[in-house]
């Protein structure tokens, strides 16, 4: 029973900078074609799905940059290396506008079960691409589809990343130990949730992605506003994840603008980048916590056994 017990504990609310009582981050995953090509590489021959994805960097990003400039808000753009190489001028425009650029894989790869060597090569390839295109060395990472492996945090710490934004076990930022050893390296974790992702509301390409239901921006705005208000009351960190090929569409961008207006109306809400939240959290000298992997009891023979990782 001792080995099975989750010895982690819920993160507590953190203190925010003077005059602030909660935080809100607008984040944009510029996946472009890579997300769909990972779902089905044969779609590389399909012009219409590829045009659906290229709408993001070609139309969505400029519209979003204009929106952010009007409201004097800085955001974080998580960019796959492949997207940076395919749309270098767009990525440079994001950096020139003063927004944070963070790492989001190389090809929006499916990392489920990916071995350490391959994942390390993927992270390094993405780092090179962002540096070559925009002269950026990102401090933050978001896994494609938010899928971290248990070895991923260590790979990030070894490469000097400050933070990750892929896990879902808290409303509050915290310090994540990369393993359970006493002297483990740490990352700041800025948690996310599927309810604050526009993919679940808007994404649909027949036979490729999505459920087939495309929700109204009014519904998305209602959901996100309710969560924003609740997290503000809790003193938490609200992290919205949008994709320019989705939320860059006209009516959805207008809904996003209404949400920004609501953010600006909330007393003491710090609207900032994920990197700034991570730097502040790192300054608090928090006790690190872990996200322990479940253990299957040996005598529960009827429970399916997980596959053995390659090389063990």
- pLDDT tens, position by position, for the chain (312 residues)? 556 677 688 899 999 999 999 999 999 999 999 999 999 999 999 999 999 999 999 999 999 999 999 999 999 999 999 999 999 999 999 999 999 999 999 999 999 999 999 999 999 999 999 999 999 999 999 999 999 999 999 999 999 999 999 999 999 999 999 988 888 999 999 999 999 999 999 999 999 998 888 999 999 999 999 999 999 999 999 999 999 999 999 999 999 999 999 999 999 999 999 999 999 999 999 999 999 999 999 999 999 998 876 544
Report the alpha-carbon angle 60-197-211, nearest 5: 95
Which burial class, exposed, middle or buried, applies to 141 when counting CB atoms under 10 A from its CB (0-12, 13-18, 19+)? buried
Of 249, 261, 258, 255, the C-alpha closest to 63 is: 249
């Amino acid at each position: 029973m001792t080995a099975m017990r989750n010895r982690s504990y819920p993160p507590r609310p953190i203190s925010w900078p003077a005059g602030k009582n909660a935080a809100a981050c607008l984040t944009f995953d510029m996946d472009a074609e890579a997300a769909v090509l990972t779902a089905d590489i044969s779609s590389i021959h399909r012009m219409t799905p590829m045009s659906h994805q290229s709408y993001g960097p070609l139309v969505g990003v400029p519209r979003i940059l204009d929106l952010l400039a009007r409201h004097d808000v800085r955001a974080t753009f998580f960019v796959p290396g492949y997207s940076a190489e395919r749309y270098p001028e767009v990525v440079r425009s994001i950096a020139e506008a003063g927004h944070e650029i963070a790492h989001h894989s190389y090809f929006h790869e499916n990392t489920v079960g990916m071995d350490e060597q391959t994942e390390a090569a993927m992270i390094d390839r993405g780092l090179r691409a962002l540096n070559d295109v925009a002269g950026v060395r990102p401090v933050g990472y978001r896994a494609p589809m938010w899928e971290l492996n248990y070895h991923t945090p260590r790979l990030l710490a070894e490469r000097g990343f400050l933070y990750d934004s892929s896990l879902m076990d808290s409303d509050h930022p915290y310090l994540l130990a990369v393993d359970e050893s006493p002297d483990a390296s740490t990352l700041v974790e800025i948690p996310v949730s599927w309810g604050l992702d526009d993919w679940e509301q808007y994404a649909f390409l027949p036979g490729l992605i999505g459920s087939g239901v495309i929700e109204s921006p009014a519904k998305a705005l209602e959901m996100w506003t309710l969560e924003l208000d609740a997290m503000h009351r809790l003193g938490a960190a609200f992290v919205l994840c949008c994709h320019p090929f989705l939320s860059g569409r006209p009516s959805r961008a207008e809904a996003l603008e209404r949400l920004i207006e609501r953010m600006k109306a909330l007393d003491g809400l710090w609207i900032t980048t994920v990197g700034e939240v991570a730097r502040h959290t790192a300054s608090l000298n928090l006790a690190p916590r872990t996200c322990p992997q479940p253990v299957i009891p040996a005598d529960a023979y009827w429970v399916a056994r997980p596959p053995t990782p390659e090389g063990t």
